[in-house]
Amino acid sequence: MTEESPIGPRDHIVVRELVKRFGQTEVLRGISMTVQRGETAVVIGGSGAGKTTLLRILIGLEKPTSGQVFVDGQDIVPLGELQMNQVRKKFGMVFQYSALLDSLTVMDNVAFPLREHTKMKPKQVQEKVILALEMLGLKADDAKKYPSELSGGMRKRVGLARALMLEPQILIYDEPTSGLDPHTSRMVDDLIEETRERFGVTSVVISHDMTSTFRIAHRAVLLVDGQVVASGTPDELADPVLNERSHAFIVASGIAWDRISRPPPADAAGSRSDEVASVRGG
């Protein structure tokens, strides 16, 4: 930490006055937000709100026009590509449609990061993949299947297992419930929460699913036209006294937010269990 960047010990990601322009078009307009360690933060907003651009900046695929992005107290905006590659190892990405390679088995899909970025022996890779799949509710035999043989929920679990292979501190989910039926969507919500608790990760979810937001978010950020118009717990965003604009957005979604179960408080320590240590080879 420095005097110029006083980031709190629980602050995992801090975004300050982020601006992004493409030509004359200003996509992000002075965004500021904080995500604390071990919590789930959900960024919501309609199409064109700037969610995808914000995601790309968080993982270093885009540089902002101005502003700062601190990860573990380090401003990643000035970093070059080599330094940024080290920072990216702290992130795991769960893509909207899982982004599995159809020509590879589940085993090969999940093992891909280990084979590309580590020197683990084949047997170690296989053991780590199987253990991760089982921890996420899949069976060892599922490792032999191809993505086309899996249900939507199973594909999400496989994509998550792959994202966890390099032991990230932060998981980024891009529209994780998009295109799923309500039952499977709620299963994915449960999976996000279970993963946060079990692996002690910080979760950032990009979503338009308001039901999911109330079920998993410790903190929600509403983007409209590239600006943060509300930030707080989902219940705070639903309170018309605190923020009329976010209340109207939630009402328009048509959900009965007062009847949706809320997640338990985030574990500030972000500690991992002995079971997780076995996945990490510890």
Q: What is the pTM of this model?
A: 0.85
**Which of 176, 170, 164, 94 lies closest to 129 in space, CA to CA?**
164
Q: Domain boundaries in the chain?
A: 100-167
Does residue 153 have a pLDDT over 70? yes
Angstrom distance (rounded) from CA 164 to CA 151: 20
Question: How distant, in Å, are the alpha carbons of 31, 58, 85, 234 from that of 15?
Answer: 7, 9, 19, 20
**Which of the two residues, 263 and 195, has the higher pLDDT score?**
195
**Residue 270: predicted pLDDT:** 44
- What would the pLDDT profile of 168-213 be if each residue is shown by its tens digit? 999 999 988 887 888 888 888 998 998 999 889 999 999 988 999 9
Angstrom distance (rounded) from CA 217 to CA 232: 10
Does residue 147 have a pLDDT over 90? yes
**H-assigned helices in the chain:** 51-58, 81-88, 106-117, 122-135, 152-164, 182-199, 210-216, 234-238, 244-253, 274-279
- What would the pLDDT profile of 208-260 be if each residue is shown by its tens digit? 889 999 999 999 999 999 999 999 999 999 999 988 999 998 988 888 877 78
Angle at 91 between CA 265 and CA 40, to 5 degrees: 20
Does residue 267 have a pLDDT over 70? no
Choice among 31-35, 48-52, 121-125, 150-154 with the minimum mean pLDDT: 150-154
DSSP β-bridge partners for residue 19 = 29, 66
Angstrom distance (rounded) from CA 39 to CA 143: 30
**Residue 172: predicted pLDDT:** 95
Report the mean per-residue pLDDT for the chain. 88
Does residue 273 have a pLDDT over 80? no
Does residue 271 have a pLDDT over 70? no
Does residue 11 have a pLDDT over 60? yes
